[in-house]
Each structure stands twice: as structure tokens, then as C-alpha cells.
Amino acid sequence: MLKNIPPIISPQLLKVLCEMGHSDRIVIADANFPAESIGKNSIVIRCDGHGIPALLEAILTLFPLDTYVDKPVNLMEVMPCDSTKTPIWDTYKEIISRYDERGAKAVSEIERFAFYEEAKKAYCIIATGEKAPYANIMLQKGVI
């Protein structure tokens, strides 16, 4: 047992967060994201049954966001043909603002298929049970 590790962080996820270096990226993927096919060259960690906000909060207690880039947090942009609303993004921005002084300014959107291409280069993809639409989020690690 360790002290001060959020209980939602599994031993496998803690190990991966420790292994990651500056500029490595991690994707926290919603339940619809093709984690296994996109992540065939990455580490895929299953966190079924967990939502992204709780995981994001826990990860950011341990994980510094990259200060060498303007936007170390990327969201999957809503397709122009889709009228889906994304209130979960406001939740993400609130969480991020607790851990990074840039707050919402650290967040950008990436076109859906470009997000998939960037996710293929991620060190790790966390597959969650999150059901909110367009809930995928990518974090770029900084330095301590």
C-alpha cells in the first residue's frame, strides 16, 4: 500500500504514469472509443465501470501537464454534422483548472479523425465506461 494515491489509480496505471516521460501522451477514452485497435502500439489499460472525470481528477493529482506547449490537453472535436452537446467538457476544464493555472486555456479541440491519428502515437490509452458523447481527452505530460 502507498499513501496519497487515489484509489481509482490501479497499480498498472500508476506504473504507466511513472514510466511516461516529458511530452508523452495518454488518452482517457470513452466507452465508444476503439481503444484496442487504435492502441495496438500503445499500452491499453481497462478501467471499465469508471467515468472519465474521476480518472482525470486522480491522474492530475500525480501527472503534470506540459508547460512547453500552449495546449497540453486535447479533446475530440464534435463532427460538423453532429448536433451533440458536450457538457462534460466544462467538467474537464473545471478539473484542469484545479491542477494547472492555465485552466481552460490549456485545452484545445482536434478534429475527430486527427484525434484518432494522434491517439495512435499515445504512450497509453485508458478505456473507460464513460458514456458521455465526445468525452475522449488526451493529456501531454510535463516535467516536475
d(CA 73, CA 104): 9
Among 22, 68, 70, 90, the active-site one is 22
Residue 45, Cβ density class (10 Å: 0-12 exposed, 13-18 middle, ≥19 buried): buried
pLDDT per position as a tens digit, 42-81: 999 999 999 999 999 999 999 999 999 999 999 999 999 9
d(CA 102, CA 67): 9
Active site includes 50?
no
> So where are the chain's domains?
11-140
d(CA 95, CA 72): 14
Q: What pLDDT sits at residue 1? A: 73
Average pLDDT on 7-15 reads 97
Active site includes 116?
yes
C-alpha cell read off for 72? 497540453
What DSSP element (H or E) covers 106? none
Active site includes 70?
no
Among 30, 68, 100, 116, the active-site one is 116
pLDDT per position as a tens digit, 83-120: 899 999 999 999 999 999 999 999 999 999 999 999 99
Sign of CA dihedral 54, 57, 61, 63: positive
What are the residues facing 45 on neighbouring strands?
A: 126
Closest CA to 42 of 19, 62, 76: 19
Among 24, 30, 48, 66, the active-site one is 66
Alpha-helix runs per DSSP H in 66-111: 88-99
Q: Which CATH class is domain 11-140?
A: alpha beta
